[in-house]
Amino acid sequence: MARPEWAISNSLSSGPDVYAPPDRRAPEEPNHGARVAVLRPQTAERSPSNDQSTANLDAFVGRIAGMSMDEIDNVIRDLESMREMLRNEGERISREIAGYASLSQASRTAMEVISDSLKAWKDSP
């Protein structure tokens, strides 16, 4: 695989960043003069509106999860019914093949009897 020319300029790097265009690559060295912001969790006081929002969110997530579980149960039931239908069809086809084999054997036996009878009739004086 040929590497793009912008990937050849940084031959010491390896991995997917080598193939990324320069404007989409991760910075190679951190900027030492840059300031780093540290995010701290906010310590919000519990308020009735926060509790209500949490309860609403919990109810919403519960409804969504319940709907998903119901949908999964429906898919499982559909798959189980499909498996049962395939099992029944497999048994029916096995019975059909057994019937065909029996009929084929019976017709072969009948053809042998007819052939022997014709031979005997032809060979008789």
- Residue 48 domain-assigned? no
7 contacts: CB under 8 Å, gap ≥ 6: 18, 19
Task: Say how far apart CA 122 and CA 65 lie, in whole Å.
Answer: 84
Question: Which residue range(s) make up the domain with 75?
Answer: 62-111
- Residue 101 domain-assigned? yes
SS (H, E, C) 53-76: HHHHHHHHHHHHHHHHHHHHHHHH
- Residue 54 domain-assigned? no
- Residue 11 domain-assigned? no
In this prediction the pTM is: 0.44
**Tokens representing residue 41 in the block:** 């969790």
- Residue 80 domain-assigned? yes
pLDDT tens-digit profile of 2-15?
555 544 554 455 55
Domain count, the chain: 1
pLDDT tens-digit profile of 27-84?
655 555 555 556 666 655 556 677 888 888 888 888 888 888 999 999 999 999 999 9
